[in-house]
Structure 1
């Protein structure tokens, strides 16, 4: 059997799959269409480029499912997580990274690996021969998406993903804004001051909501309907659900004290998170948007402290495609009708950088086992990795399948632990303790 693994897509999933397979001794070819073929969201041809956010979310591996997934990937020698910690930025309890050095490091690691070849070409058809992983992510090229659609015989599922704007730090009015992580979370002073906060009075908030609702938005093409992933809703869509929605979402004022006016509690707060190590760029947290560029500048400059804001990048919206994995994939992540093709990453219906990379890690290891003729034990569904792959390959209801972040709701219950809300901390700790033991045991068997 040919010992070469071909991977389409050099994003989080494709990069991680390549790393796992190459380290196991396989020859790997990564097929990446960028920079020859551009996408709406990417700016470079780097592998592992981050486009929506610079955060891998919570790094708490005892009380948070995504933090547990961080831990599991590190235990498996994951490139994406190792590189993320190398380029970590202060972000309270979250794992945020300096996105450009991060992608440059991922690219350098893969390009210098003796078992990896990077081919900058666009794959437009589904290959008939060889072993392939399709990890093209949410921005799969139109021609390849059509080929997938023809093969599966079903209309491609899709939703629309929005990107938050990035502001130059020097243009933020620090007489109004202040540095503080929510609840002063973090072990160091740098972590406790990882966010910039812009306060709003009730009158300012109401005026902001009015402007947001009235702003000119991006129109969809004929026949397109917006099916947004709830974890990445445009702020104007949230505002349309109720005037207080944002104040109980990304603009919640809890856990913060205005250093410039400590006696007055803000009615709402806009937070900005550091986007690079120099601290020269900040992204507006939770402010994904489909407003047109001119409207964005007008509306966002109504935020106190951002009245003179200069934008390194404005927000945007793009089509985000994924397949109905519970129907189309087997438990090895292979396309049932074409078992030489595996799918990995966000195109499978997982949501988030970490989840995408995790499915790439698993797909890479499954491909190694298949090519080398080894039998790999099933990943325990008690682990974060196993809970995710179980969900997308049969655990989810196919008729209502939508992108999903990892969460403890995907895990089987822990015996002897009450499910009452008061015992949530103990319950989550029980989930993570069990997962860590089972993941270590699986890795020992999978060697």
Structure 2
């Protein structure tokens, strides 16, 4: 279904909208619903980042109610948290479960009585959340942080997810050990704002300090990867790990959003263009060859062609490789929604131009890896299928000769590249 990831097609179906974190949590909620006694249901995990994500979720619910009358529909996620009454009135919806309660086993008992959606802004704790069965993926995902304390002018997620709260290190280590024991060769740490990890915990450990202890206490974990990072919150211990720790993958995905100072100021981001460029330069200096990804918004209110050109130039100047591009979407109640808006077609046109720049950047990265291969460099690949996977830099790679076992780490020789990624043969 357009806009959604369908995680199950059996009697207990799941539709997850929006971010990867939603997808990971959807897998956990599916398992909680099964253990809670739900034999047949549709679980819809909503997203509030864009109006289109909400529209698609409502459309999916109405369609499911028509095509599967009598099947209970369970709705959760950020959009449901923000306006639970609106979702509760949709056809077929049996229950709305808020974000503060969606990972609690008792919320998914089939015989649980209806309950009001809890105030997520009052949440003060979060539990370690490990997903090891994400649509057959080869890596495990460990949620180590939840919520956000910042107030970017375009974003409603802090009100859907609540305040920033961190998983204690002991729970992180226990879950990472469980992933290794289950055979996983890579763990990805996820959250809403993982760079802000720690201030709510005893001793106020930084993300870098927690990672250093995690890697020391789980020596059998071959690969650790990080989800999106706020460049304004990267601590010195994290930088030392980037420079010194080979098990921390040479791939950073940065929450940048724009490359023009006025746009960043109007977004209420905590970094400037120069500071973002300095982060990219430092990463390349400490870890030569590192891959850099970024989240970017096109068509933000008041964005002129000059502002957008500065964003395009920033992609090249920062040496970004992999872009997640979003056309700006008004969110009710946010400061940005009250600013002068650009026409929607113009936002989409600029997003398309930015994606094209991202494709060019990815192709340059692929070409550089091909050149490295000619000099004898091999890639270490985590296989997600017998003939494909991702490199340490999170570059997609397909094997033209040879196959391996799902979830295995293999060595590959790159022989070329196309628009979809690297082409290689087993080493």
TM-score with structure 1 length normalisation? 0.27
TM-score with structure 2 length normalisation? 0.28
Q: Which structure has more strand as a fraction of its residues? A: 2
